[in-house]
Each structure stands twice: as structure tokens, then as C-alpha cells.
Chains A and B, each alone.
Chain A
Amino acid sequence: NAGVTQTPKFRVLKTGQSMTLLCAQDMNHEYMYWYRQDPGMGLRLIHYSVGEGTTAKGEVPDGYNVSRLKKQNFLLGLESAAPSQTSVYFCASRTQWTSLTPGELFFGEGSRLTVL
């Protein structure tokens, strides 16, 4: 029972380098999300997707890009990493959302990124 899997789990980058975080879910969920978590800041939504081929901006999208070419995968890219992007990144997925049945969000274990 894999659920939501994030790779890599740890990464150290130098300022200006690029990288991609991969999120894969095996629950056939329509909705997928990328959050970042910083001390005292809770979880902040970066981007999300409501289905294959769709993406939308969240609260803090600047400096990130995403793609959802396949339903099971949601990629988060950093084109030019900055120290301010040092954080723990969480991917999550859930079944189709309605106002009365928002559904459970299933999270991955997180990816810890350090930008020097």
C-alpha cells in the first residue's frame, strides 16, 4: 500500500541550481497538491491540480512550476533555487472535491530541501 510517494526525501542544492520533486499516487485520485512547511508557518499551498493536464496557483507559487502530465504524477520544479526555498515539501492527493464531501487528504512523507 504505497499511497503517496515523494522522491527524493532529502536534497541539498546550491543557489541557482534547478531540481524537480516527484510525487506519485496509486489511489487514482483526481486532486493533487504541493505544500511547503516552515517552522511556525503551518502548511502553505504552492500549486495544486484538479485533474490530469490541469494546474492552478496556490498561496505561494512564485519560484515554482508544476506539471501533471499523468494522473498519478505531480511534479514540482524549482528553476533557480534560492535559500528562501529551504523547506520541507509535502505532496498530497484526494478524491474529487465537493463542498459537502471534501474528502480526506493523503500526504506523502515529505521532502526536505536545503538551499545553500
Chain B
Amino acid sequence: TQLLEQSPQFLSIQEGENLTVYCNSSSVFSSLQWYRQEPGEGPVLLVTVVTGGEVKKLKRLTFQFGDARKDSSLHITAAQPGDTGLYLCAGGSQGNLIFGKGTKLSVKP
């Protein structure tokens, strides 16, 4: 059974700080995705990584896929209140897609 473990579970920081959240597994994934979910809404895709060692940047967000394709990280530079939300990593095979439990980020002004 494939499992995705995310850490930390909760993170509360001040505006302007940097942070990193992690997504780890003992299984190899052909790809991993990161989603962000705001209260009362469904998750929205941020990025997909498919190549081991791949780094993708989305404005102040930097995503990395581990060389062995078992883990991924999300780094946010100079966090802003608008970054507040639940960050979920997701991966799978043969069409199904499982999610980690998420990291709940709160950025205070």
C-alpha cells in the first residue's frame, strides 16, 4: 500500500518568513503533485513533478522531487497571508491518486 506522509502537520508563521514542507514515502512514484485547499473549497493544483531531481518554481514557491522519486518538498519564500491554506501532496499509479494528510499553513500579518 502506497502512503504519503507530510510534515509538519501544522505551521504558523509570520509574514515574510520562509518555510519548507515535506512529503515522504517508502514507495516510488512516477509523479507527484501538490495541491492547495482553502476553507470550503476543493483543492487546486499547484504543480506536477515527474522527473527525479526536478525543481519547479512558481513565483515564491519552489517544488523539488527527490532523486529516487520517493519524496518531495515545497519551499515558500517570504510567506504572505494569501499563502494560508492546506497544502496536500498527491501521487499514484494506474489512475488512482492518493493524498497525504496535508500541512495546514497559517501566515499571520
Contact in complex: A100, B30 (CB < 8 Å): yes
Contact in complex: A99, B88 (CB < 8 Å): no
Contact (A58, B101) CB under 8 Å given A99-B30, A105-B90, A107-B43 = no
Residue of A nearest to B91 (CB): A102
Partner of A99, one of B43, B90, B93: B93
For residue B48, which residues in chain A have a CB less than 8 angstroms away from its CB? 102, 104
The answer to whether A48 has its CB under 8 Å from any CB of chain B is: yes
Residue of B nearest to A58 (CB): B96
Residue of B nearest to A3 (CB): B42
Kindly provide the distance from the CB of B75 to the nearest chain A CB, expressed in whole angstroms. Answer: 21
For residue A59, which residues in chain B have a CB less than 8 angstroms away from its CB? 98
Bound complex: CA A31 to CA B99 (Å):
16
The answer to whether B82 has its CB under 8 Å from any CB of chain A is: no
The answer to whether B31 has its CB under 8 Å from any CB of chain A is: yes
Residue of B nearest to A47 (CB): B96
Among residues 29 to 59 in chain A, which have CB atoms less than 8 Å away from a CB atom of chain B?
31, 33, 35, 40-45, 48, 50, 56, 58-59
Residue numbers of B with Cβ under 8 A of A are 6, 9, 30-31, 33, 35, 40-45, 48, 50, 88, 90, 92-102
Residue numbers of A with Cβ under 8 A of B are 4, 31, 33, 35, 40-45, 48, 50, 56, 58-59, 90, 92, 97, 99-102, 104-105, 107-110
**11 A–B contacts from the bound complex (CB under 8 Å):** A31-B95, A40-B9, A40-B101, A48-B97, A90-B43, A99-B31, A102-B30, A104-B45, A105-B43, A107-B41, A109-B42
> Can you add 4 more A-B contacts, CB < 8 Å, to A59-B98, A107-B44?
A42-B102, A58-B96, A99-B93, A107-B42
